[in-house]
Structure 1
Amino acid sequence: MAENIHERVCQMITAMAGHEVHGLRNSQLADALDVSRPTITRDLTTLQRIGVVEEIPGLQGRWRLGPKLIQISRAHAEGMARIKASVAEIEQRFSRTPL
């Protein structure tokens, strides 16, 4: 059981990973986190408002991770690629034979 709301929200996000197509029901999340359904519903509503999760269109009552997390993940990957390119450029400059 989660110690606080922050820990519970992180556990919810982790539990929802890999369920992008069919999502999870409130009851599945409540059971997985060992908390009440009303608590999960309240948390999902908050996370939906900020774009972290979404109710799957056409599958009422099923939830999945929202686009905001994917956008954050992609921004991280792009940032890492820029860093790798910078390091490669520095390595290239410093690996040249001195004149």
Structure 2
Amino acid sequence: MNTRTESADPAAAAQPRLPQPARRVCDLLRLLAGHELLGLPPGDIAKGLGVNPSWVSVTLPALEAETGFVERVPGANRWRLGVPLVRIATTVATNLNTARRQIDEISSRYSTPL
């Protein structure tokens, strides 16, 4: 058995692995969450992700231009989550709340004694 390519757990080996660049962008989005107002400076982002500052200086503007999922804080050298990404989260939250109301309504109808 080649230990470099095979896992002791066959189920774990069958799981698809997210490529490192995509994983890093996901980590970036998680890091920016909670900093919607003031954002974070590039140095803090690089430190928080454990990446080279050059990765931050290349990736953030490209991600902003291509997806809008991050944006520069006006008048500052800081970055935060962008409006399109927040809109996705808001849509999910709205849909979940609608579903919860529908479930609550059905549940209350079924819980009423005959």
- In the alignment, which residue of structure 1 is the partner of 2:74? 57
Query: What's the TM-score once normalised by structure 2's chain length?
Result: 0.73
The C-alpha deviation readout for 1:29-49, integer Å capped at 9, x for no partner, is 112212112211222123212
Taking the aligned partners of 1:21 and 1:86, their CA distance within structure 2 comes to 33
Taking the aligned partners of 1:56 and 1:44, their CA distance within structure 2 comes to 12
The C-alpha deviation readout for 1:11-64, integer Å capped at 9, x for no partner, is 1112112222322122211122121122112221232121111011111x2111
Q: How far off its partner does 1:69 sit?
A: 2.1
**RMSD value over aligned CA atoms?**
1.6
* Residues 5/92 of structure 1: CA separation in 2 closer, same or farther (3 Å cut): same
| Higher-Rg member (1/2) | 2
Greater relative contact order, per chain length (Cα 8 Å cut-off, separation 6+): 1
> Any gaps of 5 or more consecutive residues in structure 1?
none
> Any gaps of 5 or more consecutive residues in structure 2?
1-18
Q: The residue matched to 1:20 in structure 2 has which SS?
A: coil
Instruction: Choose from 32, 37, 41 the match for 2:53.
Output: 37
Instruction: Choose from 6, 23, 27 the match for 1:7.
Output: 23
Query: What's the TM-score once normalised by structure 1's chain length?
Result: 0.83
Q: Which amino acid is 1:52 matched to?
A: F
* Alignment: residue pair count: 95
